[in-house]
Structure 1
Amino acid sequence: MPSTNGHRYFLTIVDDKSRFTWIYFMKCKSEVPNLIRKFTALINTQFGIEIKNIRSDNGREFSMNEFYDKHGIQHQTSCVETLQQTGIVERKHQHILGVARSLIFQSNLPHCLWNYALLVMCPFNQ
């Protein structure tokens, strides 16, 4: 179901060390490459850190080999049907969705407000 702003998807980014989580809302999955570029620039500018690895599932939206090579980023993909390899993000993703569903259900809000429920979980995101 689209959100009030027309978003149908969201990208969850989790830092392996600190478990800090960023959420980016998307209208279509083709926005992922641009969001990855912006996120890389954000981390570099705000924290002075170069991203070393990006781990993702085998989604085509993460195929940005030229960008990864240019910035020295190693792109790791998980094997098919092995959630253990992306377990941290998968558990975080399920937790975020569970809390968002609970908030919507308990407050009797329309389902189209799911994006605001997600922002409760990660308030410092876009």
Structure 2
Amino acid sequence: ERQLTATYSPQQNGVSERRNRSLVEMARAMIKAKDLPLKFWAEAVHTAAYIQNRIPTRALENKTPLEAWNGTKPSLNHLKVFGCVCYVHI
């Protein structure tokens, strides 16, 4: 259900504000864990959102947000540790 809220009133958007806080905390932890410079902030937030969309949640009866959206269970086989050294195989 779509609900409209007043501009600049985060107290009316508790669920989305908490979700954003979780993304920021996860991104901060990923950067800190690998001692990366802040230039990787955007990539860390993007990765955090990617992961959060593939983690089951009680709000969706232990389904992932992605599963609730498109009806298929996401694969996690391709995930790697954020900030790990990698090589491109050509």
Query: TM-score range, shorter-chain basis?
Result: 0.3 to 0.5
Q: TM-score, normalised by structure 2?
A: 0.47
The structure number with the bigger radius of gyration is 2
TM-score, normalised via structure 1 length: 0.35
**Higher strand fraction: Structure 1 or Structure 2?**
1
